[in-house]
């Protein structure tokens, strides 16, 4: 399974993981170092007790047993953990009596005879001890001195350290995760800005460029590279647009020449039916071609940012009424009913009257084209809060759901064969451009084989 984590989240996880590893390594090092120094501290203490015991035995060489035992008791009383010192003969016999209950309860280990020096840790119940065993001499004979000392303080200190680590690691982890997220978020902010700027660049504003940070870092280089690419794209699009505009323009005259010549030829008296039909076909094809060329020319101009838009206050209801009146002629032939709903005759929009007329024409013309005979079309213009809603609904052939997202694309036609209709596939692309030039949104809702509604929502406040 693949997880798509954002870069800032991945950086945060890495940051936290590295921090955790560092903290664990540091903690383990501190723990062992402290444990070793506490252990060697204990060894030094036991060593000093051994030295003092050796000293006592040396000074008691000529003393009687009773005196030696008295001195031993005094030594035991004066020494911390003094009871945990024993003197053995080489055969393992205890040479001095147990002094105190601690010494009596202490499970003294069997004394290994061959070892000169010996150290070991033992647990008695829950209590840890270190035992230190070393040779010495008493009255010229070799003896073994066994010194024991509690390791409880060391163990408690290390347990406390464990506790501190257990509590601080989650807290440190949280802090490092937050810090990692904050730092990565900050570091990636320029990337977010670049993404937003790049997203706002479309074919309509290819002259825009990404902001280049003055830091001259990797992101600045990326922005510069993207800008160079945009320049090349802009140049290429300009050339294509210019070519489309020139080609459309150049083709206008020959096509209109063919059309007028064919119309003229049609007037020739005595033409047979076949020739007449051929000329009629030429006229109809040239009509289609010139409207295609006009549409292409307009779109090429809009792409190049050269389309002329003259904004003024227009009475939208008037424009709608005018277009509908002209469309009624065609609708009548198909026995279609066009219903107008224009409650607000004074509704004014800031826009280009010619372009708005074209937009209304495209939508009503499509409704008539794609609605069968005797169908019903409703054209409405209503005020809705801060918007003017212009809608064209029909109960025609509808648009399949899969085609709906593409109907505003250039040259898209649902299926040229499904209707008998002539068309270029550019009408709605032009309509969308006109709507956007007026800061309006254009949307389509449709149910296949049941009908379609186009809605254009114009903002009523301010000029475009």
Which residues in this chain contact ligand ADP in the complex, by CB under 6 A?
362, 366-367, 370, 394, 396-399, 407, 412-414, 423-429, 452
Residue 27 or 425 having the CB closest to ligand ADP = 425
We find the least distance from the C-beta atom of residue 427 to ligand ADP, in angstroms, to be 3
We find the least distance from the C-beta atom of residue 266 to ligand ADP, in angstroms, to be 26
SS3 for the chain is CCCCCCHHHHHHHHHHHHHHHHHHHHHHHHHHHHHHHHHHHHHHHHHHHHHHHHHHHHHCCCCCHHHHHHHHHHHHHHCCCHHHEEEEECCCCECCCCCCHHHHHCCCCCCCCCCCEEEEEEEECCEEEEEEEEEEEECCEEEEEEEEEECHHHHHHHHHHHHHHHHHHHHHHHHHHHHHHHHHHHHHHHHHHHHHHHHHCCHHHCCCCCCCCCCCCHHHHHHHHHHHHHHHHHHHHHHHHHHHHHHHHHHHHHHHHHHHHHHHHHCCCCCCHHHHHHHHHHHHHHHHHHHHHHHHHHHHHHHCCCCCCCCEEEEHHHHHHHHHHHHHHHHHHCCCEEEEECCCCCCEEEECHHHHHHHHHHHHHHHHHCCCCCCEEEEEEEEECCEEEEEEEECCCCCCCCCHHHCCCCCCCCCCCCCCCCCCCCHHHHHHHHHHHCCCEEEEEEECCCEEEEEEEEECCCCC
We find the least distance from the C-beta atom of residue 334 to ligand ADP, in angstroms, to be 14
Q: For residue 111, how far is the Cα from the chain centroid?
A: 70
We find the least distance from the C-beta atom of residue 309 to ligand ADP, in angstroms, to be 20
* CB atoms inside a 10 Å sphere around CB 65: 10
We find the least distance from the C-beta atom of residue 355 to ligand ADP, in angstroms, to be 15
Residue 86 or 452 having the CB closest to ligand ADP = 452
Residue 244 or 348 having the CB closest to ligand ADP = 244
We find the least distance from the C-beta atom of residue 316 to ligand ADP, in angstroms, to be 20
Residue 25 or 447 having the CB closest to ligand ADP = 447
Residue 108 or 361 having the CB closest to ligand ADP = 361
We find the least distance from the C-beta atom of residue 449 to ligand ADP, in angstroms, to be 10
We find the least distance from the C-beta atom of residue 393 to ligand ADP, in angstroms, to be 9
We find the least distance from the C-beta atom of residue 399 to ligand ADP, in angstroms, to be 5
Residue 347 or 367 having the CB closest to ligand ADP = 367
Residue 239: phi and psi, rounded to 5, are: -65, -45
Residue 311 or 412 having the CB closest to ligand ADP = 412
Residue 149 or 398 having the CB closest to ligand ADP = 398
Residue 130 or 413 having the CB closest to ligand ADP = 413
Residue 23 or 412 having the CB closest to ligand ADP = 412
* CB atoms inside a 10 Å sphere around CB 422: 12
- Cα torsion 280, 282, 285, 287 to 10°: value is -80
We find the least distance from the C-beta atom of residue 413 to ligand ADP, in angstroms, to be 3
Residue 223 or 320 having the CB closest to ligand ADP = 320
We find the least distance from the C-beta atom of residue 383 to ligand ADP, in angstroms, to be 24
d(CA 19, CA 16): 5
């Amino acid at each position: 399974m693949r997880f798509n984590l954002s870069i800032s989240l991945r950086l945060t996880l890495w940051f936290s993981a590295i921090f955790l590893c560092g903290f664990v390594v540091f903690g383990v090092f501190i723990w062992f170092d402290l444990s070793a120094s506490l252990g060697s501290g204990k060894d030094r203490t036991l060593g000093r007790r051994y030295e003092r015991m050796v000293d006592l035995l040396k000074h008691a060489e000529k003393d009687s047993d009773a005196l030696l035992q008295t001195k031993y008791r005094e030594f035991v009383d004066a020494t911390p953990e003094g009871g945990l010192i024993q003197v053995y003969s080489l055969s393992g016999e205890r040479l001095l009596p147990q002094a105190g209950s601690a010494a009596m309860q202490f499970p003294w280990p069997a004394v290994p005879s061959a070892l000169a020096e010996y150290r070991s840790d033992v647990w008695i119940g829950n209590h840890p001890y270190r035992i230190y065993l070393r040779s010495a001499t008493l009255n010229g004979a070799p003896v073994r001195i066994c010194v024991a000392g509690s390791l409880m303080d060391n163990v408690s200190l290390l347990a406390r350290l464990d506790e501190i680590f257990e509590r601080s690691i989650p807290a440190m982890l949280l802090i490092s995760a937050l810090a990692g997220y904050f730092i990565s978020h900050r570091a990636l902010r320029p990337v977010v800005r670049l993404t937003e700027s790049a997203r706002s660049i479309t074919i309509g504003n290819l002259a825009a460029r990404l902001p280049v940070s003055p830091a001259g870092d990797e992101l600045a280089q990326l922005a510069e590279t993207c800008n160079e690419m945009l320049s090349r794209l802009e140049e290429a699009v300009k050339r294509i647009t210019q070519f489309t505009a020139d080609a459309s323009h150049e083709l206008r005259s020959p096509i209109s020449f063919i059309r007028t010549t064919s119309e003229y030829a049609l007037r020739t008296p005595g033409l047979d039916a076949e020739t007449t039909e051929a000329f009629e076909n030429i006229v109809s094809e040239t009509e289609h071609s010139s409207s295609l060329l006009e549409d292409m020319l307009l779109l090429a101009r809009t792409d190049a940012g050269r389309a002329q838009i003259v904004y003024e206050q227009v009475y939208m209801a008037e424009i709608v009424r005018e277009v509908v009146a002209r469309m009624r002629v065609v609708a009548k032939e198909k026995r279609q009913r066009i219903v107008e709903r224009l409650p607000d005759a004074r509704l004014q929009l800031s826009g280009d009257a010619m372009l708005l007329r074209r937009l209304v024409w495209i939508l009503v013309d499509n409704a008539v084209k794609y609605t069968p005979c005797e169908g019903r079309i409703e054209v409405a213009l209503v005020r809705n809060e801060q918007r003017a809603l212009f809608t064209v609904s029909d109960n025609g052939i509808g648009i399949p759901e899969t085609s709906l997202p593409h109907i505003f694309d250039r040259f898209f036609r649902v299926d040229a064969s499904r209707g008998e209709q002539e068309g270029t596939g550019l009408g709605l692309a032009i309509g969308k451009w006109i709507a956007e030039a007026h800061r309006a949104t254009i949307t389509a809702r449709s149910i296949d084989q049941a009908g379609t509604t186009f809605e254009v929502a114009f903002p009523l406040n301010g000029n475009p």
